[in-house]
């Protein structure tokens, strides 16, 4: 059964028992353990001289590099099972920890690159063995997470294997594996299987193991879909990563009627460059800094408790204490309050002023939220209406006016969910945010019908399927390619394909002579851009000329009148010296500013410009 909209209609007994003190409310990092089968079948090569083991290691390297670039700072570990290694007293046999649980770094990526470059040498070093216990391998992964001192929000085991029926001749080991899968469910640790090989049959063993690790019988058909290439593995792993909600709040529908909802972001901000740190020149050790406030008058240090906030308003300095600011910011309690319903078509596209969120029921806040959420979602779709709500994401956050657009579930041909059901939370503008553009009239000339027909044909020929997931930021990729080359010791950065540039060869092949015909019809012979721009200037409404400023008649004005109007600076140096010389005032080596000041002092009139 696929995980579709029906998944929110069923109430999980395990989730119903959770309360507000459960670990999912605490935050923390995510931990992923790659559990890789290294038995002999995983090293068998195909016609392209590639093995399942090589694909798994390359996928691990790609995931680590992506985590470094994205700055998610998840925890990763790599564990091998089926090696020839004999474990010590406290360790299981034929299980090797290749990389301990930690945030990815350059050394880990280099180690994986060395394995990729010499798979045969790695195979000789670690060897193979079929005497392993998959239950012990799962238990080893569980111990790795338990011994980690970092607070972990979510933990997942990613099992990569081509053996669809391990321990086929030993029912006890298979029973132990199913028991260990149930232990994973008890500690909220997920188990994901990535099967290799076209003959992999999940029904033999792993389908039951995955169901046991989940604690229910719901299993999407894509959960055990066979992976073939590195891209398949990476996309499956990225799809498995559960998204952390940006906020979890109560949705109030009326008096004493509430349900729990979680809001998820569609997009995330990407930093154009890694965060800079300060280091000492001699030892390259990290330098820490702290801010300290000082009194600008006395120079004395001021503690944080003595600092207040002030805002200049109307020529006065208005001071606020820290407690007063907190009280002013706290306008409403976090939550979603229903105001009413509007027909969906009345919510215009341009109303949206901020990136949208996806709203989904959160059973762990209020028991029965899934049922009420599903009922409300179905009626909104049936009646084609949109709830209008008042939304405060967190304590101290700004309250926003939002519209909850109901999104209908969509399935592909395999009955797998491609668009989940839920509400898309769209931020609406307040009256203060709306601009009046009614006076800005835009008039366009009426084109010829033949020109419109050509334009329609060009549009039809140049259509393509757009998906933002397929277009990387070229600037970001180029910067990180340079950083990766420096960190990993490449001679040259790997080339980056700029997918934002149009493919002119393909476009020219599709349009053929349509573009030339369009240009000839739109811009006939004798057309000149200069003529069009001049005609446009002539047709444009002329603005009334600005009134000319009347220049004062300096030659016929009395010097005292000029001084009272502050026009002494308009006189030339010779005129100033001549006037001062008539009154016996020495002007030797005096600059113009000094001459002007001398004239004002002689007349006893203060300089109006000072």
Check residue 485 and give its pLDDT.
Answer: 82
Residues 421-432 have a mean pLDDT of 92
Q: Which of 342-356, 548-562, 574-588 has the lowest mean pLDDT?
A: 548-562
Residues 327-346 have a mean pLDDT of 87
Q: How far apart are CA 385 and CA 17, in angstroms?
A: 34
Tell me the per-residue pLDDT of 373-408, one tens digit each, with 9 for 90 and over. 999 999 999 999 999 999 998 887 888 999 999 999
Q: Which of 75-84, 118-127, 368-377, 532-541 has the lowest mean pLDDT?
A: 532-541
pLDDT of 203 over the 80 cut: yes
Q: How far apart are CA 402 and CA 249, in angstroms?
A: 14
Task: Return mean pLDDT, the chain.
Answer: 81
End-to-end, the C-alpha distance of the chain in Å comes to 85
As given in the structure block, the two tokens for residue 429 are 């503008």
User: 449 or 244: whose pLDDT is higher?
Assistant: 449
User: 588 or 358: whose pLDDT is higher?
Assistant: 358
- DSSP state, 19? -
Q: How far apart are CA 248 and CA 211, in angstroms?
A: 28
User: 341 or 586: whose pLDDT is higher?
Assistant: 341
pLDDT of 458 over the 60 cut: yes
Check residue 542 and give its pLDDT.
Answer: 53
Check residue 6 and give its pLDDT.
Answer: 41
pLDDT of 241 over the 60 cut: no
User: 415 or 135: whose pLDDT is higher?
Assistant: 135
Check residue 554 and give its pLDDT.
Answer: 53
Residues 319-333 have a mean pLDDT of 79
Tokens 């406290």 appear where? 90
Within 8 A by CB and 6+ apart from 543, the residues are: none
Check residue 436 and give its pLDDT.
Answer: 79
Tell me the per-residue pLDDT of 532-573, one tens digit each, with 9 for 90 and over. 455 445 554 555 555 555 555 555 567 777 877 777 887 888
As given in the structure block, the two tokens for residue 89 are 């007293």
Please answer whether residues 403 and 387 qualify as being in contact, where contact means their C-beta atoms are separated by less than 8 angstroms: yes
Check residue 15 and give its pLDDT.
Answer: 36
Q: Which of 16-25, 126-135, 568-577 has the lowest mean pLDDT?
A: 16-25
- DSSP state, 39? S
As given in the structure block, the two tokens for residue 297 are 């008058």
Percent share of the chain, pLDDT over 90 = 26
Q: Which of 10-14, 141-145, 421-425, 504-508 has the lowest mean pLDDT?
A: 10-14
Spatial CA neighbour of 130 closest among 94, 181, 179: 94
């Amino acid at each position: 059964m696929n995980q579709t909209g029906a998944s929110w209609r069923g109430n999980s007994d395990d989730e119903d028992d959770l309360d507000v003190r459960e670990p999912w409310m605490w935050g923390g990092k995510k931990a992923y353990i790659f559990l890789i089968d290294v038995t002999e079948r995983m090293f068998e090569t195909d016609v392209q001289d590639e093995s399942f083991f090589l694909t798994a290691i390359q996928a691990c390297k790609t995931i680590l590099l992506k985590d470094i670039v994205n700055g998610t700072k998840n925890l990763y570990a790599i564990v091998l099972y089926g090696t020839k290694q004999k474990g010590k007293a406290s360790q299981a046999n034929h299980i090797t920890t290749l990389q301990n649980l930690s945030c990815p770094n350059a050394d880990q990526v280099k180690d994986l690159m060395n394995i990729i470059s010499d798979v045969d040498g790695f195979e000789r070093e670690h060897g193979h063995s079929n005497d392993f216990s998959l239950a012990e391998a799962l238990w080893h992964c569980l111990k790795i997470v338990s011994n980690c001192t970092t607070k972990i929000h979510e933990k997942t085991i990613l099992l990569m294997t081509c053996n669809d029926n391990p321990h086929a001749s030993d029912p006890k080991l298979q029973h132990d594996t199913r028991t260990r899968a149930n232990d994973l469910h008890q500690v909220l640790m997920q188990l994901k299987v990535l099967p290799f090989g076209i003959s992999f049959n999940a029904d033999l063993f792993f389908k039951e193991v995955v169901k046991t690790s989940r604690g229910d019988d719901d299993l999407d058909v894509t959960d055990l879909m066979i992976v073939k290439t590195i891209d398949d593995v990476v996309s499956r792993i990225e799809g498995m990563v559960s998204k952390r909600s940006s906020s979890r709040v109560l949705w109030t529908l009326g008096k004493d009627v509430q349900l729990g909802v979680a809001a998820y972001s569609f997009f995330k901000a990407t930093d154009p460059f890694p965060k800079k740190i300060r280091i000492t020149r001699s030892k390259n050790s990290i330098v820490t800094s702290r801010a300290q406030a000082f009194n600008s008058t006395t120079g004395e240090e001021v503690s944080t408790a003595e600092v207040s906030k002030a805002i200049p308003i109307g020529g006065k300095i208005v001071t606020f204490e820290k407690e007063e600011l907190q009280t002013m910011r706290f306008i409403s309690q976090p939550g979603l309050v229903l105001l009413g319903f509007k027909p969906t078509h009345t919510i215009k596209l341009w109303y949206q002023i901020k990136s949208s969120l996806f709203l989904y029921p959160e059973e762990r806040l209020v028991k029965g939220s899934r049922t009420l959420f599903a009922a409300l979602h179905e009626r909104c779709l049936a009646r084609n209406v949109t709830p209008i709500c008042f939304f405060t994401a967190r304590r101290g956050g700004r309250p926003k006016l939002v519209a909850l657009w109901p999104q209908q579930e969509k399935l592909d041909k395999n009955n797998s969910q491609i668009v989940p059901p839920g509400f898309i939370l769209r931020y609406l503008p307040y009256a203060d945010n709306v601009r009046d553009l009614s006076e800005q009239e835009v008039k366009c000339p009426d084109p010829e019908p033949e020109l419109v027909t050509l334009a329609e044909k060009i549009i039809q020929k140049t259509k393509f399927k757009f998906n933002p997931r397929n277009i990387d930021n070229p600037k970001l990729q180029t910067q990180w390619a340079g950083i990766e080359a420096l960190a990993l010791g490449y001679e040259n950065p790997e080339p980056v394909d700029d997918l934002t540039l149009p493919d002119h060869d393909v476009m020219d092949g599709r349009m053929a002579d349509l573009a030339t015909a369009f240009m000839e019809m739109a811009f006939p012979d004798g057309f000149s851009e200069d003529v069009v721009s001049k005609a446009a200037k002539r047709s444009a409404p002329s603005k009334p000329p600005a009134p000319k400023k009347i220049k004062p008649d300096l030659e016929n004005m009395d010097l005292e009148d000029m001084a009272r109007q502050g026009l002494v600076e308009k006189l030339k140096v010779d005129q100033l010296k001549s006037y001062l010389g008539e009154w016996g005032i020495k002007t030797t080596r005096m600059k113009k500013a000094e001459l002007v000041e001398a004239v004002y002092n002689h007349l006893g009139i203060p300089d109006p410009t000072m």
